[in-house]
Structure formats: structure tokens, C-alpha cells
Structure 1
């Protein structure tokens, strides 16, 4: 019987999938990677914010409180949330500790360090109100963290690493790719560097009319999964009143902030540059927008390039897997890419509250793997112990290291405190995947 249709008979589901992708992407440029998976070229945008953004201010206050407590009592349980609004800082949450710290003083110090130390800026850490409303950790939660379900039910032998249960249920993601030497997606990496430089030129006095609040955003074109062109750079920055956007702010930011941060390979791209598109940004910080801990979770991670389980990081001690397991998942994903086992890797790990063993571990390499995903996942399970107690031990997380993470990203920064960025098990992992 003849084929009355205009396309060949579909003999298998793979062919059907390829036809569907081609039809869905009609009119768009398509490329095919070496495994035969059709992908299209695309643009991707990520944003960052400066440490003076009100949500980031809240993160820094929360992590400053956490650090002060961990410095005196490393076994503390801390869930510290901060709200900042006009003239007011509220610190709340659940904290169980043997330490005493002066929370109002810590909050004021963090706010002043950011640069909000003058009423002329719209917020002053010296004179703002600070309210503290804290309670102890729920004993119902504490019993599951102190002694895991496996141990209480007799499912597991007595083992220090089996003792600690997860502080909550949920899934956490880690991501790595070879866009940059830090194995981070290029859009979020550059957005952070621009935001850091914006703060640097403000604090150094190089651009004296800048104020602490600011946001950055960059867009890259990708071809065959690789960034090939920088197309857009956007900066919105708080500034002193009376400064002209076109004759002062724009040329100063291009010369002192944007050009010094663009990677050499993209300096000739001539991207569109947008500076303060509303025309004016004098009112900023908590005077203009309420800040809350945990509202910049995509800025904190991969700029939207990798998935997110939804849990915020700042203000949480490492018994909270929202934070510690996300750090561990990044640690694992970075090893996968650094080993050459894949060009991109996303790791998902999931937990049940009060249980030590993860309920699932998933490794996704998006078709970029050079060895089988099954062998990669087996190596991950053999080389990395993702029980909460093991994560805290292996990454040395009971230290006062968290204030530094609370602005410009928790990942892709090779600093001594960021143990989850260290390729400390690369040799073991390469051996496990036979590379």
C-alpha cells in the first residue's frame, strides 16, 4: 500500500520525536549534537544584584547572624530570616544554641558594611530600628536531625554518619558546565563579575556618586550549546541625585565597570548596553523595596541555567539540606565536568526529613557525556557520601564561612571557604569512571 502522506512512515519513537522537535522549532536554526539529539541555537539571559540590593542585604544579615553563632557554638541549629524596610530591620526565626550573640549589633554592622550608613542614602544602619523575634527549633524536627529514622527504627547499625537525619524533605540540584574555567554558566558568571565591579568602584571612590543598590543582567547567544556572542549588558545602579545619566553615569560605567569585566573572547561583540533604563535611580535599598531573606535563589545559584529545588540558603546552618546538599550537589557536578566525563552535568539529590540516606540521586548530562550516564552515576555513589552528616564532615561546614556567600553567588568562586568548589576527589572520580 502506498504512503499517502507527505512524510516517510515513522518506524520508531525516536523518529517521531525528531519530527516533533523539527516541527516545533520550524523557522529556528537547528543543530544536531554528536549523539543525534536535535537542539536549537538560542539566547540566554541571567541577572545578578549587588550587596546593596534589599533582598541581598537581608541574606547578608541572616548569614552574619549565623556566622556569629557558629563561631561560638558550631553545633547550633539556626534558621534566621530577615526583613528590611524603610527604617526597620526585623530578624526572626528559630535558633537553638548555647551561644549568646548581640543580634542587633550584628545586623547594624552588616548593614553599615554594605554601605547604608548615612540617612542620605535612604537607610542608615546606625539609626534604623532593629527588632528581634526568635524561638528555638521545633523539638519535633530536632529529634529527627539528632537521631535519624534509620537509627531509631533499627534499620541501620550505629554509625556517626547514620545518626544525623536530614533537616527537611526536598530535592536539591547542583550544576556545572565548561562555559568558564570555574565550570559555571557564562551568563550568571559575567553578571556576578559586573555586579562585583560595580560595588568595587563605589567602595573605592572611583565613581563617587554611586550608591549601594544595583542590578546587572547579561545575554549571550549560544550555538550548539556553546556561548559565542555577548549581545546585551544591562546595569541599573542607585546614584546620587543630580547626576546625568547620559554624560556621566553611562560613560563611567562603560569604561570602569563593563569593559574591564567582559572576557577577552567577547570584547569585540559590541553588545547593546542599557544603563538605568527608567532614567533615574535615586531611591534604592530598603527605602524603595522591602528586602527578604531567600528571595534571590536563582541569582545565588546558576542564573536559571540549572534547575532549582526551591529552598533558599542564607541564614541556615548546615543541618538544613536546602543549603548543605545543594553545595554537595555542585561539588559532585563539578567533578563530573572537570573529569571529562561530560561537558554539562546536573545532579539532583532528594531527602526525607529525619532520614540519613538520600531517597534518590540523579545525574543528567544532557547528551554531553563521554562515558555512560550509568557509570557516572555509579561513580558518584561510590566516591561521594551524600548523607547529611557526611556532607557536613567532608565540606567542613560547621564554620563561620557563610557571610561571604551571601552576595555574588554561592558557586563558581574559588576561595578557601568555598570547599564545595574544590576538586578534592578528582583523581578518585576519574578512576571510578575509568578516565
Structure 2
């Protein structure tokens, strides 16, 4: 491991077109799980100028059964999607929650996939797909997340809060941030570059308006970053293209699952490649990534390492993971092989075991779809994978 280096992570706001798509997909997940905790959902969303398109495979008691929609279900889905866009704040000529064209192309889940996933007789519930999933934790921040991503998220969360409250009425929903930090002795010590590109109102496209936007964003940087961390002014970039009036789905198409590094660890850890949003928790792309984070966070919270990466792998239709891998990056106080043996005894790592341990069959996912799935403040109620309730059990198991 290098001790001294620069590292960068980015975040995107709730109004970024890909994040609009993620939030819509998870709106559908939450709606279906609120009707049927055993619903199956794989919902993809496309957003573009004045258009939202849904596609994917579903099964939900009382909503979509035997290839038919329940009365009123299609309108309920459309209303939920429009409400999500309204909450984000899109009332622009190129993308307005009331007037965009809506197309629902959801259809029945493949019977062959269902056959592998569903419990039957002596067969346990199988994984919804093959794949590899990673979890990560580091002691760099109180939430045990990489500092570069933590601050990138916090900058945009503050800007969104100010936009919604009216404190920054010149802001529009689309925005991106990027934070570069200097690490010394493997710890973040200061920012060396900060970037924000934010959509703004048409009245702020002149020189005075852009100056106001820049001054506001610089103030957010100063509030969010620790004292003494700000870089020199020439390393602070606000709307470096000059203008950002046209944005959101009107400025660029958005698709579910294109911001998976923003969703996870900002590039500080590996990623298995599978997206989370739009998937019910039988899909291990989502649930196994959540439990891998849960286990890694508990390892660090227990003081057994200052950094921890965990990989799980699955085969479609098979319940038990094919492999469990732990890497404490040279910071561990116990052998990694010991953790690989102990962790599956504390949490059953089958899809059903994960869902039951973390309570995942609930409509809790829309809130995850912007500003990251991990390290969030809403610990417990919305994000059970952020709990550290395994700490004492872990310590006892490795003692």
C-alpha cells in the first residue's frame, strides 16, 4: 500500500438524469413491496426529453398476476413515477413531472428464473442471478466510508437541501461534484481540487449570475469540508464549462444503473458490476452487496481492521454463496481466514437468510437511490445494513 497519494471520488445529485432513472426504478420496487413483500421486480428506467420509459420483469400479488394487471394498477404506477419526479423538482419545459410522456413496458417474470429462485419442497430459495458482490469499510469517516466519496455526497446533499428550502433558488436539480484529497500516512489530510457543475436558472446565465453561483458553491465547500482543508482558489472549479442551464433528462438521457461507483465506494473498493436500483432483494446484486457492506462495516467497527473488503459470489438458483473472501489490506488484527470462517456463522448468507437478517422485504429503497447506498445518516430505519450490531459477537467469535 502507498502511504502518500491523491485520490478522487465523484457524486451526482438526485436530479442527474441517471439518478432520476434510479429513483423511479426504486419507486416501482417500493410500490410493489408495499403490496406484496414477496414481489419480484426488475425495473429499468429510461429518461430523456419529456419522456420516461419503464421496462422489465415483475410479479406481484394483487398488482400483476398471471399476466394481467389489477384494476387501477397501471395508473397507480404512473402516479407514483410522476410524484417522484415532482419531489426531485423538475418543472422545466424540457422535463416536467406533469407533462412528460410515460410508457410502461413491465411484463411477467420469466418462469425459468422463478423456478430457480422460488422455494419449493426441500429446495431453499435460490439466488436471482449469478455474480460477484463487494462490501467495503474504512475508518476514514464516522460512517466508515471513504472520505472522498463522503464529502462529494455531502456537498450535493447540502445544495439539494438549500434548493428545496428556497435558500438557493437559483439552483436547478441536476448537479455533479468531485473531491480530490491528499492522503498522508494513509489518512486524508486536505483537499487538493474541488469540482461542482450545477444546473442553474436562466436568469443566472450572465456574468453576475455565474459569480453568485460560484460564491454560493464555494461557501458550501467551506461548510462541508473540515477546517483548513480547502485548496487554493485556482483549484476550485465551479461550472467550468461556463454555463449549465440545460440539464437533467432534457440535457442528457438517463438510464438505471449507470452510477454504480457513486452508489457504492467512489472507486476506493472493487465493484462486482451489478446495479442495485430497480431490483427486489432476492436479486443478490442488491442484497448480497448490502450484507457484504454490513459485514465489512462490523469488522472495522469491532476494531479488527481499519480497512476491510469482502467479496461474495453466487450462482443463479443456488442458495449458498460459492465463495467468501475477506481482505483487511494489511490492517487486520486477526487472520483473514478466521473472518472468512466466522462471518458466515453469524449471518446466513443465502438470499433468504440475508433478507431475513436485514429485514429487506420492505419498501425502503427509493431513499437509497440518491447520495449513496452506504454510510448514510438514516441508520437503522431505512438502512439496516449500516447497523453495527455484530460487533460484540464478532469480538467473541475471534477471541
| Same fold flag (TM > 0.5) | yes
Does the residue aligned with 1:181 lie in a helix, a strand or coil? coil
Structure 1 residue 382, shift from structure 2 partner: 2.2
* 2-structure distance, mates of 1:46, 1:273: 15
* 1-structure distance, mates of 2:338, 2:364: 34
Please tell me whether residue 249 in structure 1 is matched to residue 223 in structure 2: no
* 2-structure distance, mates of 1:83, 1:323: 20
Q: Is the 8 A contact 1:81 1:315 kept in 2?
A: yes
* 2-structure distance, mates of 1:402, 1:226: 32
Structure 1 counterpart of 2:101: 129
Where does 1:371-410 land on structure 2 (aligned, <5 Å)? 371-410=334-373
* 1-structure distance, mates of 2:225, 2:187: 17
Please tell me whether residue 103 in structure 1 is matched to residue 98 in structure 2: no
Structure 1 counterpart of 2:198: 237
Please tell me whether residue 427 in structure 1 is matched to residue 392 in structure 2: yes
* 2-structure distance, mates of 1:208, 1:199: 10
RMSD: 1.4
* 2-structure distance, mates of 1:378, 1:269: 45
Structure 1 residue 224, shift from structure 2 partner: 2.5
Structure 1 counterpart of 2:128: 167
Structure 2 counterpart of 1:215: 176
* 1-structure distance, mates of 2:153, 2:27: 21
| 1:39-58 Cα distance to aligned partner (Å, 9 max, x none) | 35211000001100000000
Structure 1 residue 246, shift from structure 2 partner: 4.8
| 1:71-107 Cα distance to aligned partner (Å, 9 max, x none) | 0111100000100011110011101111333221111
Please tell me whether residue 340 in structure 1 is matched to residue 312 in structure 2: no
| 1:193-239 Cα distance to aligned partner (Å, 9 max, x none) | 00101111111111111100000000001122211221111110000
Judging changes above 3 Å, is the alpha-carbon distance between structure 1 residues 177 and 60 closer, same or farther for their aligned structure 2 residues?
Answer: same
Structure 2 counterpart of 1:82: 45
Does the residue aligned with 2:202 lie in a helix, a strand or coil? coil
Does the residue aligned with 1:39 lie in a helix, a strand or coil? coil
* 2-structure distance, mates of 1:285, 1:246: 19
TM-score (norm 1): 0.85
Judging changes above 3 Å, is the alpha-carbon distance between structure 1 residues 268 and 304 closer, same or farther for their aligned structure 2 residues?
Answer: closer
Larger of the two Rg values belongs to structure: 1
* 1-structure distance, mates of 2:267, 2:337: 26
Structure 1 counterpart of 2:70: none
Q: Matched residue pairs, number? A: 382
Unaligned runs of 5+ in 1: 1-37, 152-157
Please tell me whether residue 144 in structure 1 is matched to residue 105 in structure 2: no
Structure 1 residue 299, shift from structure 2 partner: 0.3
**Equivalent position to 2:150, from 180, 183, 189:** 189
Q: Is the 8 A contact 2:222 2:230 kept in 1?
A: no
Does the residue aligned with 1:133 lie in a helix, a strand or coil? strand
Judging changes above 3 Å, is the alpha-carbon distance between structure 1 residues 44 and 268 closer, same or farther for their aligned structure 2 residues?
Answer: closer
Does the residue aligned with 2:287 lie in a helix, a strand or coil? helix
| 1:301-359 Cα distance to aligned partner (Å, 9 max, x none) | 00000100000000100000000000000000001111111110000000010001100
Structure 2 counterpart of 1:8: none
Q: Is the 8 A contact 1:123 1:287 kept in 2?
A: yes
Structure 1 residue 374, shift from structure 2 partner: 1.8
* 1-structure distance, mates of 2:278, 2:149: 23
Does the residue aligned with 2:2 lie in a helix, a strand or coil? strand
* 2-structure distance, mates of 1:254, 1:268: 9
* 2-structure distance, mates of 1:269, 1:251: 15
* 2-structure distance, mates of 1:132, 1:88: 11
Does the residue aligned with 1:163 lie in a helix, a strand or coil? coil
Unaligned runs of 5+ in 2: 64-72
* 2-structure distance, mates of 1:246, 1:129: 33
TM-score (norm 2): 0.93
Q: Is the 8 A contact 2:190 2:229 kept in 1?
A: no
Structure 1 counterpart of 2:270: 307
Does the residue aligned with 1:353 lie in a helix, a strand or coil? coil
* 1-structure distance, mates of 2:198, 2:340: 44
Structure 1 counterpart of 2:69: none
Structure 2 counterpart of 1:47: 10
Please tell me whether residue 286 in structure 1 is matched to residue 249 in structure 2: yes
Structure 1 residue 371, shift from structure 2 partner: 1.7
Structure 2 counterpart of 1:21: none
